Amino acid sequence: MRSPRALVAVAALALCLSACNSAEVKAGDLHGKVLDPPFKVDGTALEDTDGSPYSLTADTDKRLTLVFFGYTNCPDTCGIVMTNLAAAMNRLDDKDRDQVDVVFVSTDPARDTPSVVRRWLDHIDKDFIGLTDPPADIETIAAVARSMAVGMGDRLPTGGYDTNAHSTQVTGIDSDDEAPIYWSQDTSPQQFAQDIHTLLGKP
């Protein structure tokens, strides 16, 4: 059973995301882990697949943004998680889908150029947003990741990170530019879709 503080956190999360039905959200309604207090997201801009700056605070204007850190050469987990997110989005009606963004942030910018990330995402969902950064600025990606308790593995002698050791959670950013919830890599498309419905104030 969750503590009274956790119950308050769930209600506050729903209130941030929805102007209605927040009182109907109960702690047991969510498959994700609610954070109290939420993570404060680092708003430093990275580079999207069009080569434009993109901040996880200034440019996330949807009611809910789902963020995953990974890399396109990942042999298993990254593709599975992103495919599960795509399947979850396909379970939403158009109105709900318009209120949610999915963002993939590369932890391997040396190989994941904007064009590489875009091609990879297009095989999963063309609406997904991809972010990377010049390899020289890998610390920028690492700092943004750390603000949401996402690890990027051990630092290598080459200056990069051990991409095989990155964290695998999906983090939710709300309209207040905070991250009050995350999901494990084992979350199913149905569970993602159910939580999105709940957080958007759906019955």
Place of tokens 């875009």: 118
The pair phi, psi for residue 53, each rounded to 5°, is: -65, 140
Comparing 10-19, 102-111, 142-151, 172-181, which segment has the lowest mean pLDDT? 10-19
Judge whether residue 21 has pLDDT over 90. Answer: no
pLDDT tens, residue by residue, 104-131: 999 888 889 999 999 999 999 999 999 9
Comparing 23-32, 74-83, 94-103, which segment has the lowest mean pLDDT? 23-32
Mean pLDDT of the region 73-79: 90
Mean pLDDT of the region 78-99: 95
Q: Residue 45, class by beta-carbon neighbours within 10 Å (0-12 exposed, 13-18 middle, 19+ buried)?
A: middle
- Cα 192 to Cα 182: distance, rounded to the nearest angstrom: 10
Q: What is the pTM of this model?
A: 0.84
Give the closest residue to 24 by CA, choosing from 49, 41, 40, 7.
7
Judge whether residue 6 has pLDDT over 60. Answer: no
- Cα 42 to Cα 87: distance, rounded to the nearest angstrom: 28
Higher pLDDT, 2 or 63: 63
Give the closest residue to 56 by CA, choosing from 186, 155, 188, 150.
150
Strands (DSSP E) contained in 41-83 are: 46-48, 53-54, 64-70
Per-residue confidence at 15, pLDDT binned at 50, 70, 90?
A: very low
> Alpha helix (H) ranges present in the chain?
4-17, 77-90, 94-97, 114-122, 138-146, 189-199
Comparing 32-41, 104-113, 115-124, 161-170, which segment has the lowest mean pLDDT? 161-170
Q: What are the residues whose beta carbons fall under 8 Å from the beta carbon of 108, sequence distance 6 or more?
A: 71, 72, 73, 160, 163
Q: Where are the domains of the chain?
A: 4-199
In the prediction, which pLDDT does 163 show?
57
* Distance (Å) of CA 132 to CA 21, 85, 143, 189: 37, 19, 13, 25
Q: Domain 4-199 belongs to what topology? A: Glutaredoxin (3.40.30)
